[in-house]
Structure 1
């Protein structure tokens, strides 16, 4: 892989990952509710899903999946259903003020009652893995940067690793943004407006996925 090809990939992924989407919105809301450090489990879940799908693309599994009749449609509708569920849940969420005191700082932030780090990780993973746009990216976009005349495994490893680093960087940016936003959510009416805006955005993402078609 030529260096200029890698830089082109990095530039495209930097812009793509920075665009608000379900993963970034999920990370930001987790940071608002739990604090920056506790939202790392959600970041890890989202990132794990991204790496698995991209690695599957490298192995040719997503191409096989898209070749199976109806497989993509099943994934697409599952993704839509999950995002709509998250949107409704956020819309109806508790409007108790966000604790921005000493315990909810960058290093603190209590987990929601009964919500373990494993559950937070699983939530992030489901957000990432249920988005068929990631599969389309892995199948239609990623292979364009591979030189078929050279060993493909090292090239895929470089691209997937680069994507993961850039994606993780943007997770941090959105999590910090969520922490800053939490300072303004001390009043129930403001928190209610935030919850409903978040819910509407999640539901909007879900409805947008209905228009996604295989390349």
Structure 2
């Protein structure tokens, strides 16, 4: 794999990862509600889901999903249901919780680190198209003239570094928002907007196809 090809991968992943999606939205809202420090557990959960998807694509699960539309549909509808549940949870909890606290004041935990990790993991795993995305993207940057495994390892490490950087950026932005959300009306609007976005992500999964 040449340096030019690697840099093209870096730019491509940087732009794709930075696009708002369920993972980034989840990390940001965890930072708003529970603080930047505790949002690290949400980052870890989302990243675990990404690594599982990358490993699955390398193991040929992407090809299996393409060959088995019914299996893909099962995963797709399950993921959409989970995202819809997150939307309902955010909408019903609008205006409640710690989102409006001053960012310089320690936030009462309110939820276990395991729950933060688990919820983020399920959020990340809710999108089976990530496996198809990885299966389609990575081979484009792997040279047939060199060993496949070392190149794949480099691309995965690069992807993880860029994805983590965006998690941190979204979490930092979320923590800054917490001061602005000290107003109850703003907090309710933010929570309901978050719920609506999760519903939209779920609707996007329903409309998704393997092709």
Structure 1 unmatched runs, 5+: none
CA distance in 1, matches of 2:76, 2:103: 41
Taking structure 1 as the reference length, the TM-score comes to: 0.92
Measured on the aligned residues, the alpha-carbon RMSD in Å equals 1.5
Residues 83-138 of structure 1 show CA distances to partners (whole Å, capped at 9, x for unaligned) of 1110111011152462226543xxxx3222xx210110011111111112312211
User: Alpha-carbon deviation of 1:151?
Assistant: 1.0
1:133 maps to 2:129: yes
Structure 2 unmatched runs, 5+: none
Range moving further from structure 2, 93-102 or 67-76: 93-102
Query: Taking structure 1 as reference, are residues 69 and 193 closer, same or farther at Cα in structure 2, changes over 3 Å only?
Result: closer
Residue in 2 that maps onto 1:145:
141
CA distance in 2, matches of 1:6, 1:32: 35
Q: Which runs of 4+ in 1 moved over 3 A?
A: none
Residue in 2 that maps onto 1:202:
198
Residues 128-170 of structure 1 show CA distances to partners (whole Å, capped at 9, x for unaligned) of 1111231221121122111233211111111111000000000
Q: How does 1:180-199 map to 2 (within 5 A)?
A: 180-199=176-195
Do the aligned partners of 1:45 and 1:124 also contact (CA within 8 Å) in 2?
A: yes
CA distance in 2, matches of 1:126, 1:4: 35
Residue in 1 that maps onto 2:117:
121
User: Alpha-carbon deviation of 1:211?
Assistant: 2.0
Taking structure 2 as the reference length, the TM-score comes to: 0.94
